[in-house]
Amino acid sequence: DAKTTQPPSMDCAEGRAANLPCNHSTISGNEYVYWYRQIHSQGPQYIIHGLKNNETNEMASLIITEDRKSSTLILPHATLRDTAVYYCIVSLANNYGQNFVFGPGTRLSVLP
């Protein structure tokens, strides 16, 4: 079973920030939080990951609570192309041995 809980769906107006929550209350100290998205029938696309600190890249920001039991992915200015299923995953970060356990994710619809 996935170690994360996400809302099944969310809507966001184009141009506004999309804030996607994820609960991971059983995360262990050496597990990272990863975010991926999947646009219809394509392979999942890596967005961002983090351990404790907030992270930002050209795609998104990741806010992790101090107790690490939840996180939020922020798309600062959502566009129609951001419509996708977003997956939050917790996993060790090494080059072998770990597999990603995907839940059903959050289906984000960006509305014009």
Which residues of this chain interact with another protein, rule CB under 8 A? 2, 32, 34, 36, 41-46, 49, 87, 91-105
Alpha-carbon gap, residue 80 to 109, rounded angstroms? 8
Nearest approach, Cβ of residue 56 and another protein (Å) = 16
Closer CB to another protein, 19 or 91, in the complex:
91
Q: How far is the CB of 31 from another protein (least distance, A)?
A: 11
In the complex, the smallest distance separating the C-beta of residue 15 from another protein, rounded to whole angstroms, is: 27
Residue number with CB closer to another protein (53 or 94)? 94
C-alpha distances in angstroms, 61 versus 51, 74, 99, 109? 13, 5, 24, 19
- Can you tell me the distance from the alpha carbon of 108 to that of 112, in angstroms, rounded to the nearest whole number? 13
